[in-house]
């Protein structure tokens, strides 16, 4: 496959993927027969450039680092907005890493629909479109004969979705539960070490774990989006986020942390989904006091973990990073390679 790539959005995650693509160019060709050319980048804040013959990705990254303006790239057509870039460029693979409103999924949702509508493959890390419309988008993609992938929406590059959908296929998953938000896990870990809530949150923001508006992390909405995705994509559920009781960590005080410690427990923000006898799935997000000898109690800092409870294997747990430039950039690379494998067969 020669992928002609267009980036929609070129922030931390997009640049993370760009760096990996540059670093791994030869290995991707040699080991997987995967070749690419980046033809377009369109970012709402940084501007846009398009060249049907391909852009120099290293030069683009340098331009973004020095001036912050994509339009300072010396060649190509500038000024195309995201929708024009998706529909009118010669790209055959759209990397959707723009901004998303978790309530409406926009503008990412429109980007994904436009890409599917003009028969272009899509990989994305934005939770909004998948939390709101996973089934609709997967069905549209099937009808239009293209592939969409979104591994990075849950646990970034740690292959939690692939594990559930592919590796544990028909293992009869009855329950999924875990720590799916790095910011809150970091805050709780630091509060246990004696830091105040405010200082721990500030650090999580400085380290780049938190969402643009950290309310989404601390009130549990980010974890809510992820458990909705897991429920609907892995457990074949049909839930919406409004059906999921959601409580974040904002009410947990230093006293609560101490009280848990004296009981031999620690607080974790747990997102879970359970299959009920009538075949429906119930999901939740809530802080729970976890006994110290439980595997999730040992998952600290920004690390995430997810346990699938299955009929044939019992519990299967995956632990790994859930956020970050490289870890999320890598999620996109695994999706790209997965599409490449599928369409090159």
Q: Applying CB under 6 A, which residues contact ligand HSE?
A: 181-183, 209-211, 217, 222, 322-323
CB 199 within 8 A of CB 101: no
Output the smallest distance, CB 257 to ligand HSE, in A. 19
Q: Are 86 and 113 in contact (CB under 8 A)?
A: no
CB of 231 to ligand HSE, least distance (A): 17
**Please, which residue, 60 or 102, has the CB nearer to ligand HSE?**
102
What DSSP line would sit under 190-246, residue for residue? HHHTT--HHHHHHHHHHTT-S-SSTHHHHTSHHHHHHHHHHHHHHS-----GGGS-B
- Give the Cα separation of 228 and 315 in Å (integer): 20
Please state the closest distance from residue 328 (CB atom) to ligand HSE, in A: 7
In the complex with ligand HSE, the residue whose CB is nearer, 92 or 125, is: 125
Cβ–Cβ under 8 Å, residues 150 and 230 = no
Active-site residue, from 46, 226, 241, 268? 226
**Residue 321: beta bridge partners?**
303
Q: How far is the CA of 27 from the CAs of 13, 30, 176, 310, in angstroms?
A: 21, 5, 35, 36
In the bound state with ligand HSE, the residue whose beta carbon lies nearer, of 38 and 109, is: 109
Phi/psi at 6 (5° precision): -120, 130
First to last CA, the chain: 10
What is the closest distance, in whole angstroms, from the C-beta atom of residue 1 to ligand HSE in the complex? 28
Annotated active-site residue 226? The verdict is yes
Output the smallest distance, CB 250 to ligand HSE, in A.
15
Closer CB to ligand HSE, 181 or 309, in the complex: 181
Half-sphere exposure of 270 (CA within 13 A, CB side): 20
Residue 268 phi, psi (nearest 5): -135, 145
- Cβ-based nearer residue to ligand HSE, 34 or 150: 150
How far apart are the C-alpha atoms of 222 and 154, rounded to whole Å? 10
Minimum distance, C-beta of residue 124 to ligand HSE, in the bound complex (Å):
12
SS3 39: strand
Rank residues 146 and 269 by Cβ distance to ligand HSE and give the closer one: 269
> How far apart, in whole angstroms, are the C-alpha atoms of residue 234 and residue 271?
14
- Please list the active-site residues: 226
């Amino acid at each position: 496959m020669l992928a002609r790539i267009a980036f929609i959005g070129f922030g931390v995650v997009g640049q993370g993927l760009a760096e990996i693509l540059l670093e791994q160019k030869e290995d991707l060709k040699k080991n997987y027969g995967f070749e690419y050319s980046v033809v377009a980048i369109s970012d709402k804040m940084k501007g846009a450039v398009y060249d049907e013959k391909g852009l120099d990705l290293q030069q683009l990254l340098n331009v973004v680092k020095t001036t912050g303006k994509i339009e300072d790239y010396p060649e190509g057509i500038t000024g195309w907005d995201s929708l024009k870039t998706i529909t009118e460029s010669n790209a055959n693979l759209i990397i959707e890493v723009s901004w998303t409103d978790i309530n409406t999924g926009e503008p990412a949702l429109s980007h994904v629909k436009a890409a599917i509508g003009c028969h272009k493959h899509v990989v994305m890390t934005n939770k909004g479109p998948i939390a709101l419309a996973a089934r609709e988008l997967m069905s549209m993609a099937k009808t239009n004969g293209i592939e969409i992938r979104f591994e990075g929406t849950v646990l970034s590059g740690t292959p939690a979705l692939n594990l559930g959908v592919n590796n544990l296929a028909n293992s009869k998953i009855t329950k999924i539960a875990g720590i799916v938000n790095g910011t809150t896990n970091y805050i709780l870990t630091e509060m246990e070490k004696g830091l105040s809530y405010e200082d721990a949150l500030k650090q999580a923001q400085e380290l780049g774990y938190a969402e643009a508006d950290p309310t989404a992390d601390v009130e549990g909405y980010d974890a809510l989006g992820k458990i909705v995705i897991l429920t609907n994509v892995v457990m074949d559920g049909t839930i919406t986020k409004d059906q999921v009781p959601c409580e974040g960590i904002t009410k947990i005080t230093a006293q609560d942390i101490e009280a848990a410690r004296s009981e031999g427990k620690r607080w974790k923000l747990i997102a879970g989904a359970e299959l009920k006898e009538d075949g429906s799935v119930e999901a939740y997000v809530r802080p729970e006091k976890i006994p110290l000898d439980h595997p999730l109690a040992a998952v600290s800092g920004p690390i995430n973990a997810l346990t699938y409870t299955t009929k044939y294997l019992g519990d299967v747990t995956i632990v790994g990073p859930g956020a970050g430039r490289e870890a999320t950039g890598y999620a996109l690379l695994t999706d790209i390679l997965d599409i490449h494998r599928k369409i090159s067969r």
